Chains A and B, each alone.
Chain A
Amino acid sequence: MTDENIITVALAGQPNVGKSTLFNLLTGLNQHVGNWPGKTVERKEGTFTYNGHTYRLVDLPGTYSLTANSAEEIIARDFIIKERPDVVVVVVDAAILERSLYLVAELLPLPTPVIVALNMMDVAQQEGFRIEPEVLEAALGVKVVPMVAARNVGVRELVKTIDTVARDGYIYTPKRPEIRADHREVLAQIETLINGCVPEPYPQDWVALKLLEGDREITRMMRECLPEERWEDVHDVLRAHDDALVAVAGGRYEWIGRMIRAAVTRPKVGQIGLTERLDRWATHPFWGLLMLAGILGLTFWLTYAIGAPLQELLDTYVVGNLAELARTWLGGAPPWLSDLIVDGVIGGAGAVLTFLPILVIFFAVMGALEDVGYMARAAYVMDGFMHLMGLHGKSFLPLFLGFGCNVPAVLGTRVIESPKARLLTIMLAPLIPCTARMAVVAFLAPAFFGSAATLVSWGLILVALVVLALSGVLINKIAFRGQRAAFIMELPLYHVPNGRTIGLLVWQRSLAFLKKAGTLILVVSVVVWILSALPGGEIETSFLAQIGHLLEPVGRLMGFDWRLMVALLTGFVAKENSIATLGVLFGSTGLTAGGAGEGAGLAETLAATFPAATALAFLVVQMLFIPCVATVAVVQQETGSWRWTLFNVGFLLLVSWAAGAGVFWLARMVGL
């Protein structure tokens, strides 16, 4: 910002107008993804060069307006007002011109020069609109650049326009929207009252307007800045006009109507577009559900058909060979070192690596569904059902992906706009039985329950889902006092998905996972290995075993001994590790974490050691227990709060113990 040669461009736009496509097109791989300071809202920034200048492009969160309804809206306007970018490019959907100009109407009162990127001109044409950009440009008094970002049309012109506007000689003369006549007087009154008291760098007339709209943030700010008496005066005026919010918004739409009257020819009513035809199926209460089920089925089929074999290949060839190589290399080193490297480090890295294929597939599917516009439809058909748990329709898809892996489920909650609904979804995601947990069930259930194993497995899934629903209701009631965000959501027009946008999304999400979860998994893996190897080198006498003994009194409530407790604990690295640990503790030979070939021997030993009631309790606890470290890592990343992460872990501990103990005593009562 301080560098004279760098020109800062803010990219604004409503959701679903093709803003990310344009951002990716301009910056390519020269971008950095992070979070806005102190917020869990994604912040993307990138650079491009043109005409010898370097441009810093900051992607503002997609927002419908600039009134403080959400974190996104506050971030967007704070950036423009406080960071003072040189230019704001606002992306507008030509096919929804009226609605998407609403954000322009909010941006024009601010001092930063605005350029309107009139995107989706092709879609507008298909829908029957005829738009004349020059006429719109003349009406608004700002540069208007028609474009089709998805096909790289008009991007060069946009960059040229940015260059022109950012240059010193450019005179910015927008036709700013005026407030409706019936509120002009109050606005002037407020402005007089606050005159001279508005803190820098807020424009005074803008603050007056936001006060009239009842904007929470600005109201709070002015209450602090104004002398007590003066505030009372302002407050009285505002109270007498508490309907102004609707009037101001209505005024903006009237202004938009005047702006586009000459520039747009509308289609004849009655034309049925592709979106309407598709939506007859996609949003139907029955066919819509069927369609959703089909899409989910396809996703999981893809995961198993491509992801699982890929996972195995990675495990055998990359991780396996690496372990071999390390062992040979470290032949002369003390055995503990070679064990640490092979079991601790490479084992941990392997766990990270084998996550990747499934994650990539899920990220790609989520990205594609979002980009096509289907995500909103899935949310629509599932809303009623999710409502029962205090959740939003948009919580459904991320949660469902949790059946594959909890990590993309937590990351997928980014599609949920309401912060509360998002937090609640993150808290519940670890209760979805993922494939790794089901692998443990698949291994243990047949040994204990024989032909009833399938029934038991389904029962366990049912238990997990019932616990999830109950937890949802409970957390919602207690932590959020039963509040639920209003269900109002745009159903965007269907678009052909943009490979580049989806590809970059998959790349960024995977990279972020590797960086964050990867390191944490590695650390935890090494720590668990050290605990299991020290002090004597045998797991039976290790620190881990001592912890297991320490926890045995808790375990006894469920019929567990220390070995089962240790198995649960090692599942923290990766759920499958529980089996390997049991293998070691119950004397199967030559097992390492994640290794294959535990064989039927272990299952039989276990069945001979423990009653069925204990086995059932173990499986229940295992289903509901603290998720693996990767999930915990992303829960922390996505909530941005250690408090919520610890709450989540503590809550799951409590719930799993309670359910385990309950099941154990019930099973004993029926004589298992």
Chain B
Amino acid sequence: MSNEPEMHRAAPAPGLRKETEVIALSALHPGEQGVVAELLGGRGVLGRMTALGFTPGAEVRMLQNFGHGPLIVLLRDTRVALGRGEARKVRMLRK
């Protein structure tokens, strides 16, 4: 159903996960947390995303992600809704 293969990967047990695994924000499951590693994309989008709090090192918790359509994350005490395309451009370190 989903065109994102990473969505189907079973989450490995926390102890086995490599610390350095970099994934797209869109691949985080609801309830999971991560730290922003890198932001991709053009200037305009980057400017808006950084102002809303997406900067390297920021902690992000996934609130809603149905594997398709937009998603909702909690970031710096704010709920932020973002499109799937935008979420793919945020590279995360899973926590």
Residues of A at under 8 Å CB distance from B? 64-65, 67, 69, 95-99, 102, 127, 213-214, 216, 245-246, 249-250, 253-254, 275-276, 279, 283, 285, 376, 379-380, 383-384, 393, 486-493
Contact = CB atoms under 8 A, between A and B. Distances in A.
Given A488-B48, A491-B79, A99 B70 contact: no
Contacts of A67: 47, 51
Interface in B40-82: 43-53, 55-58, 63-64, 66, 69-70, 72, 75-82
B80 A253 contact: no
A123 B76 CA distance: 16
B53 A487 contact: no
Contacts of B45: 486, 488
Contacts of B57: 250, 253-254
Given A64-B52, A249-B50, A486-B86, A283 B72 contact: yes
A98 B81 contact: no
Contacts of B43: 214, 216, 245
Nearest to A100: B78
Contact of A487 (B52, B64, B81): B81
- Most chain B CB within 10 A, of A127, A213, A249, A492, is at A249
Given A245-B50, A246-B56, 9 more contacts: A64-B48, A65-B51, A283-B72, A376-B81, A380-B72, A486-B45, A486-B49, A487-B82, A488-B83
Contacts of A275: 79
Nearest to A276: B63
Smallest CB-CB A-B distances: 9 pairs: A487-B83, A249-B50, A65-B51, A250-B55, A491-B79, A64-B51, A69-B47, A486-B45, A98-B76
Interface in B1-53: 39, 43-53
Prevailing SS type, chain B contact patch: mixed
26 contacts: A64-B52, A65-B50, A67-B51, A69-B47, A96-B78, A98-B76, A102-B53, A245-B46, A245-B50, A246-B50, A250-B56, A250-B57, A279-B72, A283-B72, A379-B81, A380-B70, A380-B81, A486-B45, A486-B86, A488-B45, A488-B80, A488-B82, A490-B52, A490-B78, A490-B80, A491-B80
B51 A490 contact: no
Contacts of A214: 43
Contacts, number: 115
Contacts of B66: 285
Given A279-B72, A283-B64, A98 B39 contact: no
A253 B53 contact: yes
Contacts of B50: 65, 245-246, 249-250
Given A486-B48, A488-B82, A489-B81, A96 B76 contact: yes
Given A65-B47, A102-B53, A491 B70 contact: no
Contact of B78 (A99, A216, A384): A99
Contacts of A384: 69-70
Nearest to A384: B69
Interface residues of B, number: 33
A94 B19 CA distance: 34
B73 to A, nearest CB: 10
A259 to B, nearest CB: 14
Given A253-B53, A380-B70, A490 B48 contact: no
Contacts of A98: 53, 76-77
A263 to B, nearest CB: 14
Contacts of A493: 79
B86 A489 contact: no
Interface of B: 39, 43-53, 55-58, 63-64, 66, 69-70, 72, 75-83, 85-86
A489 B82 contact: yes
B53 A99 contact: yes
A254 B82 CA distance: 23
A528 B39 CA distance: 59
Contact of A488 (B49, B58, B64, B76): B49
Contacts of A276: 63
A97 B77 contact: yes
Contacts of B86: 486-488
Nearest to B77: A96
B51 A486 contact: no
Contact of A246 (B55, B72, B75): B55
Contacts of B81: 283, 376, 379-380, 383, 487-491
Contacts of A250: 50, 55-57
Contacts of A249: 50-51, 55
A245 B82 CA distance: 20
A276 B81 CA distance: 13
A285 B64 CA distance: 10
A99 B82 contact: no
Contacts of A379: 81
Nearest to A486: B45
Contacts of B83: 383, 486-488
Contacts of A97: 77
A280 to B, nearest CB: 9
Contacts of B46: 245-246
Contacts of A283: 64, 72, 81
B75 to A, nearest CB: 8
Contacts of B79: 275, 279, 490-493
A69 B77 contact: no
Given A246-B39, A486-B48, A488-B49, A285 B80 contact: no
B25 to A, nearest CB: 12
A493 to B, nearest CB: 8
A488 B56 CA distance: 17
A99 B49 contact: no
Contacts of A376: 81
A245 B47 contact: yes
Contacts of A96: 76-78
